[in-house]
Structure 1
Amino acid sequence: MNVKTEIPVYDINNFREYKTQGLVASRFGHYAKAHAHLHSPHRHSFYHLVFFSQGTGHHHIDFKQFEVKPSSMYFMIPGQVHSWSFASEPDGYIINFSKDYFSNFLSNNTYFHNFSVFSGIADQQVIEVDEDTAAAIVESFEDILKEGAVNGLLRDDLVRSLLLQIFIRAERASGHKIEVTANSYNHTIFRNFQKLIAEHYTTLKLPKEYAALLYITPNHLNALCKDIMGVSAGELIREQVILEAKRLLINLDLSIAEVADKLNFSDHSYFIKFFKKHEGITPEKFRKSNILQHGK
């Protein structure tokens, strides 16, 4: 990717591999050779899962770097920015599925909220599995690929069931406790808070503004954020602003002042101070370091 362009967003319909009702399933080696965009920062409008059986290198998720190695798994949710760099030839499996792929299969439309691997928090979306778990996951991937070659009875439902098995095995291997109370009152509020941040981070910067939209007190919002995520509501808002700033800084056609303006900072010098305070470097230095990592 020419880093002077905006980060591209790929839709599942951009891909021609085995696809049925919003699903793409492929061996990763074939997929990587067919899609050069993997090596440059990009986003998806769909969910994305990769399991490596071989290969080494690095994976950047929302500007955090993770190691690529056999028996490692990577989960992505729509909107996250990522890129790959490989030191040796990779292989394994890749699954892309649309936001509504499970909508007619699961009665609980918040089911994925139970899984830390779909949290959108990069550190929780990269896991390593043991030998037995890897063998079971590989078997499920192979069965999915076999189903893609035939049009058997209830094929799509079987594929969805196999995918759910992979998610559950991965979640168990992650060591994170599945949050069985994800549909509780506080968790519902927290998920709504996350959605509101994603929608209004440029205009609403204070926890009390979000608390008002959620019809709760700022203290209640702060308490549930600390209980669920271990950080304050204000920190979650700032993290979203910083992440979006990084995504904008990738675009060299935008000046630092224009990035600040898009994030609704009235003074670009204040934006520079804000960014440096929370990242330890200036926006310009972040931009230059990103060019060294991804520039062509």
Structure 2
Amino acid sequence: MRNDIPNLDFNSKKPDNSGIDILTIESLFVRKHEIAHHPEKAHQVTFNMIVFYTGGESRQLVDFVWHNVKKNTVIHLSKGQITAFQFTEGLKGYIILFTEAYLKKQIHSLPKNELIRLFNAHLFSPVIQVPEDDNVITYLQLFYEEYSDIEEGYNQENTYNSLYSIIFSKLERLKQYQTFHLKRSDKLTHFLDFKSLLEIHFNTNRNADFYAEKLHITYKHLNTICKDTVAVTAKQFIDAFVVLEAKRLLINSDIKSTELSYFLGFEEPTNFIKYFKKHTGLTPNSFKKTYL
């Protein structure tokens, strides 16, 4: 299928790159007309990304939702998400890009909770507001200086890895304060299992009973898990998941509404159109025109 909104691949100019890169928002603004895709237009990333704003005020798009940003705002995106920047006067900051392979290499040194909190798009807001007195910016500046050093120093990759781990852990700690209610419990484990099943079966089954049966729990118990974890019912979470996948497919391919309706398991295209409009207020074609 043809891409209408491009997938942007990880592409570092640094030789022998291990899968991590850092640049400034200012440099991206200067180069916006030189790169293959204008960063202010929606695009899908095939890598993970952390954006730390150090000055100015603006907005950033994450999966079709615009989030306000200002000094000390952090936006984190997972592989596959849709984003777009909005450049304004005085906007400054750092962008860390890293591949899925790099993230997997770091997993052994990072607690599992950290990965859940920072890179679970369906579980948490992508926004963190860093307190003024926090020193995470110091490590970002060190990372940028080390990475920008033209002369490769001894053991430099280990320096990157160490600074990355510090930055990641500091951001997770801040995220933990904002999500204090979420603990590594049986409910969270069941919810993550539910989400994994949904990723496999979302285009064949939108019935919460189906997932409860797969998890060997009751429908009522699955509802309680979802309400306690993400404050919505199981059915509401399923619908939100399906609608987001539909949005991504609509704007990232030449798939027609009719084809998409069958792919998502709807018996009739009209049923899909009604379903999509109920949850977004737009028909699939109107939504696509809005973002293209």
TM-score of the superposed pair, with normalisation by structure 1: 0.82
Select the residue among 167, 176, 179 that pairs with 1:177.
179
Shift of 1:252: 7.5
1-structure distance, mates of 2:5, 2:223: 33
Counterparts in 2 of 1:240 and 1:17: CA distance versus 1, 3 Å: farther
- State the one-letter code of the partner of 1:238: D
- Residues 179, 211 of structure 1: alpha-carbon distance in 2 compared, 3 angstrom cutoff: same
Alignment of 1:50 onto 2:47: no
Tell me, yes or no, if the aligned pair for 2:5 and 2:253 is still in contact at 8 Å.
Answer: no
Q: CA deviation at 1:267?
A: 0.7
Q: Distance in 1 between matches of 2:154 and 2:113?
A: 25
In structure 2, what is the Cα distance between the partners aligned to 1:275 and 1:262? 14
**Equivalent in the alignment of 1:28:** 25
Q: Post-superposition shift, 1:66? A: 1.3
- Deviation, structure 1 residue 220: 2.4
Moved more, 258-267 or 146-155: 146-155
The letter of the residue matching 2:145 is K
1:68 Cα deviation from its structure 2 partner: 3.3
For 1:180 and 1:283, the matched residues in 2 are separated by 35
Quick check: 1:11–1:46 contact (8 Å CA) kept in 2?
yes
Partner residue of 2:142?
Answer: 143
In 2, the alpha carbon distance for the partners of 1:30 and 1:140 equals 19
Q: Which residue of 1 aligns with 2:9?
A: 11
Unaligned runs of 5+ in 1: 292-296
* Paired residue type of 2:25: F
Find the aligned partners of 1:131 and 1:17 in 2 and give their Cα distance.
32
The superposition leaves residues 100-130 of structure 1 with CA deviations (integer Å, 9 ceiling, x where unpaired) of 3243444367343452x43314972123223
Distance 1:58 1:123, change over 3 A: farther
Paired residue for 2:286?
A: 285
Work out whether residues 61 and 122 of structure 1, in 8 Å CA contact, stay in contact via their aligned partners in 2: no
Q: Please provide the CA RMSD for this pair.
A: 2.8
Contact 1:129 1:173 in 2 (8 A): yes
User: Which position in structure 2 is the counterpart of 1:80?
Assistant: 81
Aligned counterpart, 1:294? none
Q: CA 1:40 to 1:262, structure 2 compared with 1: closer, same or farther past 3 Å?
A: farther
Q: CA deviation at 1:288?
A: 3.2
Q: Distance in 1 between matches of 2:220 and 2:158?
A: 44
Letter in structure 2 aligned against 1:224: I
**Equivalence for 1:90:** 91
Aligned to 1:129: 130
Aligned residue pairs, count? 283
Q: For the Cα contact (< 8 Å) 2:6–2:252, is it kept in 1?
A: no
Q: Given the superposition, is the C-alpha separation of residues 219 and 40 from structure 1 closer, same or farther in structure 2, using an over 3 Å criterion? A: same
- Offset, 1:95: 0.5
Superposed counterparts of 1:69-218, under 5 Å: 69-88=70-89, 90-107=91-108, 110-115=112-117, 117-121=118-122, 124-133=125-134, 136-148=135-147, 149=149, 151-152=152-153, 154-174=155-175, 175-178=177-180, 181-182=183-184, 184-218=185-219
Distance in 2 between residues matched to 1:217 and 1:154, nearest whole Å: 53
Counterpart contact for 1:54–1:89, Cα < 8 Å: yes
Identity %: 30
